[in-house]
Amino acid sequence: MARSSWTCMMTLFRPSAAHVALAAQAEKPVCAFLHDLGALRDQVRSLTAPLPPGTEFFYEVKANNDPRVLRALAPWVSGFEVASAGEVLRIRDSVGPSARIVMGGPARTEDDVRLILAQGVERLHVESLHVMRLANAVAARAGAILPILLRVNLAGPVPGTTLTMGGSATQFGIEQGSIADAIAMLDACPSLRFEGFHFHTVSNNRDAAGHAALCAAELRFARDWSRAHGVDLRIVNLGGGWGVDYADLGWRFNVAAFARALGPELAQGPRIQFECGRIVAAYHAAYLCEILDLKRTHGRAFALLRGGTHHFRLPSSWSHNHPFRIIPRDPWPHPWQRPEFIDTDITLAGELCTPKDVLARNVAVDRVRVGDLVCFQMAGAYGWDISHHDFLCHAHPERLFLNEGRMVPA
Ligand SMILES: Cc1ncc(COP(=O)(O)O)c(C=O)c1O
């Protein structure tokens, strides 16, 4: 991974008028994701630069699996963390045979393990004792040794964040109380090679000091367990979870403070890995939607968009008002008066036939008109990728990827 004195943390992509013109060329209402791959690269470089040498930083593919994103990131990350056979093949097709891949995820099949072995996936993060047996059996049949980390669901409590995967009753990982059983079972699994522990306990932690404390505690647990059970600890994967703030576009997770706070723990080894998604991919993309209609019902003002949660489910999934700005567009092609609202609290609704299709509620705007654009910012992570694209069979959005001002082909 390239290291430099890179410190720029303000990589939020704000589409210019020229960018908007690119998205608005067709004779139809605007609906487009615009990605700036230069901003994406700047972001990942700013995240990895403060980390101590030897720390491995993987990109969490589920945040945005577009091949152009994966190719743009490949030179700047240690590798890719995937959760499915499809993601393995996506990396192999778009980045190539030498890209490093590690795999995690709670529900695993024999086919997954066969594919891992066939595609040179480096390591499996095992989440249950049954999957240990299953992976061992498949590896034994293939005459292979499969390196594994044991994913731990901590006893907790862990600090509250937007999403909590461990430290509570979730489907993830092997609960802390069963780690001794999992280590004991290694004797019966000679086709697995234990290499260490995996923790992805929280997502979107905005408290850099708190996140460093959590990671430090996880590292100490990993060292204590391997010492107590006499197993060789080569790797600890501390997951992702570095936060972003959708309510404050200027706020950034303090990676330098995080790395400083964790530094003394990291220096004691073993090899440390991170696998971040949201903080890498959130900032470089915007989702542009044309306002198709304006109306009031029961006293509330609505703007109806070409687009919605079938393209961008994040705001409804998190029940938040996604940050946006209105981009005014002056041409008005119709002979009747242009509908507009002035100084209004607007609710931005999509084109789906469900009252759940809302991207922001009651947000004050100076002026909105039919034909103006809504530009949702920080739309690059868990946006298009987590959405139900074909509900109602509306046309998909354009997906435009820019690099140094040029369009990047698929
Ligand atoms: C196992 C695992 N690791 C890492 C991540 C990345 O998390 P984040 O996007 O919060 O960095 C995820 C996301 O859910 C995950 O499931």
Per-residue confidence (pLDDT) for residue 16, from 0 to 100: 87
Q: Predicted confidence band at 24 (pLDDT cuts at 50, 70, 90)? A: confident
1 burial via Cβ count (<10 Å: 0-12, 13-18, 19+)? middle
Q: What percentage of the chain has pLDDT greater than the value 90?
A: 85
Residue 118: its H or E element: helix 110-118
Cα separation values, 387 from 220, 320, 384, Å = 38, 16, 5
- Strand (E) or helix (H) holding 216: helix 208-229
Tokens matching residue 192: 């697995």
Write the secondary structure of 3-58 as one string of H (helix), E (strand) and C (coil): CCCCCCCCCCCCCCHHHHHHHCCCCCCCEEEEEEHHHHHHHHHHHHCCCCCCCEEE
In this prediction, residue 170 carries a pLDDT of 85
- Residues 275 and 239 sit within 8 Å (Cβ to Cβ): yes
Q: What is the mean pLDDT of the chain?
A: 94
Distance separating alpha carbons of residues 282 and 24, to the nearest angstrom: 23
pLDDT top residue among 341 and 266? 341
**pLDDT bucket at 166, cuts 50 / 70 / 90:** confident
Distance 275 CA to ligand 1 centre (A): 7
Please identify, by atom number, the ligand 1 atom nearest to the C-alpha of residue 105: 1
Is residue 6 predicted with pLDDT exceeding 80? no
Interval between CA 106 and ligand 1 midpoint (Å): 12
Copy the structure tokens of residue 126: 């095992």
Ligand 1 proximity of 149 Cβ (cutoff 6 Å): no
Q: φ, ψ for residue 399 (rounded to 5)?
A: -130, 105
Q: Please give the helix or strand (H or E) that residue 82 lies within, else none.
A: strand 79-82
Q: Is 239 in the pocket of ligand 1 (CB under 6 A)?
A: yes
Distance in angstroms (rounded) separating the CA atoms of residues 349 and 97: 43
Residue 175 DSSP symbol: E
List, for residues 84-119, the tens digit of each pLDDT value. 999 999 999 999 999 999 999 999 999 999 999 999
List domains and CATH numbers for the chain: 50-281 (3.20.20.10), 285-407 (2.40.37.10)
From 200, 276, 279, 385, mutation site for ligand 1 pocket: most ligand atoms within 8 A of C-beta: 200
Residue 1 has pLDDT above 60, yes or no: no
In tens, the pLDDT along 127-160 reads 999 999 999 999 999 999 999 999 999 988 776 6
Residue pair 161/241 in contact (Cβ under 8 Å)? The answer is yes
Distance CA 340, CA 289 (A): 16
Interval 227-284: pLDDT, tens: 999 999 999 999 999 999 999 999 999 999 999 999 998 888 899 999 999 999 999 9
CB atoms within 10 A of CB 325: 14
Q: How far is the CA of 208 from the centre of ligand 1 (A)?
A: 16
| The pLDDT value given to residue 161 | 62
- Tens of pLDDT, residue by residue over 31-77, are 999 999 999 999 999 999 999 999 999 999 999 999 999 999 999 99
Name the residue at shortest CA distance from atom 10 of ligand 1: 241
Omega of the bond leading into 157 within 30 degrees of 0 (cis): yes
43: tokens are: 């972001």
The encoded tokens of residue 24 equal: 């608005």
Query: pLDDT by residue (tens digit) across 191-220?
Result: 999 999 999 988 899 999 999 999 999 999
Spatial distance between the Cα atoms of 305 and 26, rounded to a whole number of angstroms: 17
Cβ proximity of 376 and 289 under 8 Å: yes
Active site residues: 353
308 lines ligand 1 (CB under 6 A): no
Q: Which residue has the tokens 């995820």?
A: 105
Kindly provide the b/e burial profile for residues 256-284, where b requires at least 16 CB atoms within 10 angstroms of the residue's own CB.
eebbebbeebbeeebebbbbbbbbbbbbb
C-beta of 385 in contact with ligand 1 (< 6 A): no
Residue 384 has pLDDT above 80, yes or no: yes
Is residue 270 in contact with ligand 1, taking CB distance under 6 Å?
Answer: no
φ and ψ at 174, to 5 degrees? -100, 125
Q: What sign for the dihedral angle of Cα 181, 184, 187, 191?
A: positive
Question: E-assigned strands of 154-231?
Answer: 163-164, 174-175, 192-198, 202-203
Q: How confident is the model at residue 26 (pLDDT cuts 50, 70, 90)?
A: low
pTM listed for this prediction: 0.95
* Mutation to probe ligand 1, out of 57, 103, 203 (largest number of atoms < 8 A from CB): 203
Residue scoring higher pLDDT (387 or 6): 387
pLDDT value at 328 more than 50: yes
* 346 Cα: distance to centroid of ligand 1 (angstroms): 33
pLDDT band at 8 (very low <50, low <70, confident <90, very high): very low
**60 C-alpha vs ligand 1 centroid, how far in Å?**
6
DSSP 205: B
Q: Does 276 contact ligand 1 (Cβ within 6 A)?
A: yes
- For ligand 1, atom 3, name the residue with the nearest CA: 239
The residue-averaged pLDDT of 159-168 equals: 71
Amino acid at 1: M
Q: Is the CB of 47 under 6 A from ligand 1?
A: no
pLDDT-derived band at 410, boundaries 50, 70, 90:
confident
Q: How far is the CA of 137 from the centre of ligand 1 (A)?
A: 28
